[in-house]
Chains A and B, each alone.
Chain A
Amino acid sequence: MSRPRLFFRHWRNRLSLLLILGYVFVAITAPYLSPDDPKNPSPFMRVGRAFESRPLPPDDKAVLGMLPRGIDVYHALVWGSRDALQFGLIVAISTALFGVVYGAASGYAGGRVGGFMLRVADSFLAFPPIAGVVFLQQLFAVTITAMGGIYYTSDILGRVVEIRGPATIIQVLFENVNPLMLSLILFSWMPYARLIHSIVITLKQTGFVQAARALGGGSSWVIRKHLLPNSLGPAVVLAARDVGGVVLLQATLTFINIGGDSVWGTMLAQGRNWILGPGGSLLTYWWVFIPPTLAVMLFGIAWNLLGDGINDLLDPHT
């Protein structure tokens, strides 16, 4: 059976592709599905009264109801999928690229150099991403305050960066880089590197790679032509799962207010006091809790399913 047909045979794979295509569609057509307020473009569009502290139920102004302070749930939901896709894809692709290149280089080098490179990667494995986020954000903050600017985060305004004086390169960098994204890229490429390293080490012993080298192939040519194509499969599986994983982590860190600016996470954080209604019911103010929760969970499920599907496809036993 051909590979695509094998892939589409399972309902789980079809569901995952359907969900992902759905998110991509919503992300691309967001300006048409829910036009931004031209005066103040933001995922958090105000349709109700700013001083309204209660979340209002759905009506004709807001299809899915409002969060406290009159913020439209539907608008944030739609624009949140664009934000989540961007964040997940950028992080997963950059980590995968860096890790794969690093692993291929260290595996190909082998010997003492390769061992040293692997040692460095292993040391990075001891760095929890949550510590990285906090560390980077505080670095940004002290730098900008030391130069006379303002840097803080708040529930309502998000990340506030105000730079005084002439902007240096470092300042511009700090203003535009998302600390969570940077820290996830810096501290989660190691699984790829280890994976590719071990595959390349094994492949190096096989006949066809030795033949390619005997033909006089340069090292970068051998890596590109023979080693990478044969070791990319597992890396793709990891990357697919990572897209969902980092978005879940982003939403979690946003909700607990440790950096991160996930739109869906912020929605839940803003409605924090209304999620549990009277008697602990999650359904009294369902429009505060259910839409962003479903969006986050289905996003994670879709990418996890895709990863599993590709994994089964590559596994010769199935």
Chain B
Amino acid sequence: MPPLLQFVIRRFMSIPVSLLVITMVLYGGVMLTPPEARATLYMPDNLPPRLTDQQYANIEEKIIRLHHLRDPFPVQYYFWVKTLFDGKWGYSPSLNEYVLPSLLRRTPATLELAVYSLLLLIPLGLVSGVTAGWKRSGSFDRGFRALAFLGTSIPPFILAIVLLSIFYINLSWFFPGRLDLAYTLEISAGNFIPYTGMMTVDALLNGRTDILDNAFRHLAMPAFTLSIYHWATLGRVTRVSMLGEKRKEYVTAAKARGLVERKIVWKHVFRNILTPSLTSMALSATSIVTGVFVSEIIYDIDGISGVIVRAMSGIPDAPAALGFAMYSVIMTLLLTFFLDVTQAILDPRVREGVLKT
């Protein structure tokens, strides 16, 4: 088996272990509540509208017995995990539907935003970090450091307000939301086939460049707001490892042999600093996922975060909150996995199986 495949498989196997720990912690939290509260996780979707307290208590009692809610933790945990595989994840009163289908339907919007932001910020972060670190205290370095500092210090919602004021209201270049109302209506009319649910991809597949343009105009501000913080963090980490790496002897040797500077930086040094940079990205995966949700809520994109927006502004809704927590954990694990694999593909030491990670 090639070492890279071995690495990918071993890395993938660690996902269930993390999931096990996290689900145990999550259900441990649920266990702190009384059984009556836990029963709301399993409430049916066709509860009659008017119930007396006595009737409600009877239903509650039935659910408690059916799902073993008075039993010790391992038993309850086992039965809860079993219900995770039914594809429903409980009925949410504030969404008025089952949690998992609702989450899945909202995923493409979130995925689209996340993918474009990562495609924007990873190359930019790496390039600006490397360039800034190579010529320390040069004009590029100083400019980069000031911008990166600003990027990590501005709260996203304030940046969003400023961007909206300039680019939406004054210039009308970029817009909040996912699509213009006219296009949304056209899509719901049925001429446009939603293959993936991701607007930019669907527009291409349907051959509609006007919708493609519009979708990008709606994505620009959220993607920028999300990227700027992580771009700054990634750039700083890259810059610092660049500063350490360029003192090494092989760089001096390469210079002495008269290699072109561009070649030294991008062919030799860059390879070596990729690992720490991408590792730091993988470690801040939760922060990226949180950023995606925050960006969605600020710019009114009805992605996965729509679930919590509804759950937080109404009656108590434990199934939605628990489902959202589970789903965002899975998202984070997949994102970390993806970043680790990217790093393994780019790092020759992992690729050839020399380095055990």
Q: Which A residues lie at the B interface, using CB under 8 A?
A: 119-120, 122-132, 134-139, 141-143, 145-147, 151, 153, 170, 187, 191, 194, 244, 248-249, 251-253, 255-259, 268, 275-276, 279-282, 289, 293, 296-297, 300-301, 304, 317
Contact = CB atoms under 8 A, between A and B. Distances in A.
A131 B22 CA distance: 12
B312 A259 contact: yes
Nearest to A129: B290
Identify the 8 closest CB pairs spanning chains A and B, nearest first. Answer: A280-B169, A138-B321, A141-B316, A123-B21, A146-B37, A146-B36, A123-B18, A131-B325
Nearest to B327: A131
15 contacts: A123-B17, A125-B285, A127-B25, A128-B286, A128-B328, A128-B329, A138-B316, A143-B32, A145-B316, A146-B36, A146-B39, A187-B286, A253-B294, A258-B308, A297-B154
Give chain B's interface secondary structure class. helix
B207 to A, nearest CB: 35
B312 A300 contact: no
B153 A301 contact: yes
Interface stretch (B97-105, B156-164, B195-203, B252-260): B156-164
Given A126-B22, A126-B336, A281 B156 contact: no
Contacts of A293: 158
B30 A138 contact: no
Given A146-B37, A297-B158, A280 B168 contact: yes
A242 to B, nearest CB: 12
A259 B308 CA distance: 11
A170 B35 CA distance: 13
Contacts of B29: 135-136, 139
Contacts of A151: 316
B342 interface: no
A128 B332 contact: yes
B63 interface: no
Nearest to B316: A141
Q: Classify chain B: how many residues form its interface, as a range.
A: 35 or more
B311 interface: yes
A130 B286 CA distance: 9
A131 B333 CA distance: 14
A304 B233 CA distance: 12
B316 A119 contact: no
Contacts, number: 171
Contacts of A275: 161
B164 A280 contact: yes
A143 B29 CA distance: 12
A258 to B, nearest CB: 6
For A244, A248, A282, which residue has the most chain B Cβ atoms within 10 angstroms? A248
A153 B328 contact: no
Given A126-B18, A297-B153, A258 B312 contact: yes
A58 to B, nearest CB: 21
Contacts of B58: none
B286 A296 contact: no
Contacts of A142: 33, 37, 40, 316, 318
Contact of A120 (B21, B26, B297, B332): B21
Given A256-B297, A280-B170, A282-B165, A130 B312 contact: no
A256 B157 contact: yes
A301 B148 CA distance: 12
Interface string B127-164: 00000000000000000000001001111111001101
A134 B18 contact: no
Interface in B163-206: 164-166, 168-170
Contacts of B170: 279-280
B283 A125 contact: yes
Contacts of A301: 149, 153
B7 interface: no
A275 B333 CA distance: 38
A102 to B, nearest CB: 14
B64 to A, nearest CB: 11
A76 to B, nearest CB: 17
A137 B154 contact: no
Contacts of B153: 244, 248, 297, 300-301, 304
Contacts of B95: none
B166 A280 contact: yes
Given A280-B166, A297-B154, A134 B17 contact: no
Nearest to A153: B312
